[in-house]
Structure 1
């Protein structure tokens, strides 16, 4: 395909420090949300540590009441996510956890990559084992098609914290522009490498847009792109935000 190419570069030597301790459930007690709520069965019921499958007696399952619903949790920092386990109810209505999609992202409303799909009705539980590293702060559960209620008795996210050492690796997409809202814009920036270095220094930045004609560097905390000028537009994405799934969903490659 004409108009773009992909390269990889390191701003400086790469160090990704993952804690050596065993992965734990990093969703436990974290802020959780859902599109609406049935009775007292709020989103937080799915991250309270209670995996009981009996919604009526335990009153510890999240339950929506409409027909286009999602459930999501804010892990409050970036984690390397190894697996996500979901628990169903067995006292009634197990079909409300059917054809389940798993999404992982860096922002609540921005792009989230589909990293798993469980076809059919979930039994007592199902674990999405992520074969390749997936980094993210937000985990979302929904159904496909979404036109049914959603019940989750617990969601466990197994992960370890991510922290960048003295550098980060970036995937560079020539001929693309960022369509999100920049968190910072700088003029007279000498190169895409300098632009990416500015991203590393920002706690929230995960992607950049650099224009070689105007020497403008824009930093973003989200992922949203479209085709731009093949010669002058360059987008760089921190490699922790790029998986095979997200690359295909964002760029069609």
Structure 2
């Protein structure tokens, strides 16, 4: 590669927040479900109660009418998440549970899955960066009922600083190419402002003064001695 090319990577991993306290960021957030059996509102899974019903006659847990159902919560912002815990009913337990996550509305991807019948609770440990969390079942049997869904995470700090590390390369086609930029930090600033789709890496060419913005990056080590990482303050966790 031309030695005049400097690569900048803006990642979605976390440096200063490695020791941040993870709290239940789903508490009292807006929750919805496919449909609702009388008294089994979706909000009951994010009300902070640890009550686990021992029969369908007990209130305090969500319940749908349909079997092929889902439950979801809007966290209201993009959170760093490392665990989702579901408190189960003590009867009519969940089985074949699927957890989906999404950064944009209705753009879900499967985050985790547990086969078989769940116990009193089921815990999924998974590094996720998301706003929406959805719970469903791979093999629907009876109505979907959840007593509580806890999503442990934190909101990355708004005051972002950057530091450089060597390695990694942008991948895919550029989101856009910006001409006549006089510095790589101006290129980084354009990447920082590019939100939809989110810019995570940028390539600055010092000869042509062009800045190419990319949505993704390759986490294989770069072979170029001129490759430079520009990482957000909340940067390093997902690189490993």
TM-score higher than 0.5 = yes
1:109 aligns with 2:106: yes
Greater radius of gyration (CA): 2
**Does residue 151 of structure 2 align to residue 152 of structure 1?**
no
| Structure 2 residue aligned with 1:249 | none
TM superposition shift of 1:127: 0.9
Q: How many residues are paired up?
A: 206
Q: Is the 8 A contact 2:8 2:201 kept in 1?
A: no
Residues 9, 201 of structure 2: 8 Å contact kept: no
1:142 to 136, 143, 159: 136
Quote the Cα distance in structure 2 between the aligned partners of 1:106 and 1:120.
28
Unaligned stretches of 5+ residues in structure 1: 1-7, 179-184, 224-237, 245-253
Structure 1, residues 78-99: CA drift from partner, whole Å, max 9, x if none? Answer: 2211211101111x322xx110
- Map of 2:71 onto structure 1: 71
Alpha carbons of 1:11 and 1:159: their partners in 2 closer, same or farther (altered >3 Å)? Answer: closer
CA distance in 1, matches of 2:157, 2:22: 15
| Contact 1:16–1:162 under 8 Å retained in 2 | no
* Structure showing the higher strand proportion among its residues: 1
- Map 1:34-73 → 2, pairs under 5 A: 34-54=33-53, 56=56, 58-73=58-73
- What's the CA shift for 1:198? 3.0
Aligned twin of 2:206: none
Query: For residue 98 of structure 1, what is the aligned residue in structure 2?
Result: 95
Runs of 5+ consecutive residues of structure 2 not aligned to the other structure: 1-6, 203-209, 217-231
Secondary structure, aligned partner of 2:45: helix
Q: Deviations over 1:59-112 (max 9, x none)?
A: 21111111321111111122211211101111x322xx11001112212212x3
After superposition, the Cα gap between the structure-2 partners of 1:177 and 1:89, relative to the gap in structure 1 and judged at 3 Å, is: farther
Describe the SS at the equivalent of 1:46. helix
Q: Is the 8 A contact 1:101 1:118 kept in 2?
A: yes
Aligned 8 A contact 1:167 1:200 in 2:
no
Q: Distance in 1 between matches of 2:139 and 2:174?
A: 31
The RMSD of aligned alpha carbons is 4.2
Distance 1:199 1:216, change over 3 A: closer
Instruction: Give 1:139 shift.
Output: 1.1
In structure 2, the CA distance between the partners of 1:174 and 1:18, relative to structure 1 (3 Å rule), is: closer
Is the 1:98–1:119 contact (alpha carbons within 8 Å) kept by the matching residues of 2? Answer: yes
Task: Please name the residue that 1:123 is paired with.
Answer: 119
Shift of 1:20: 4.6
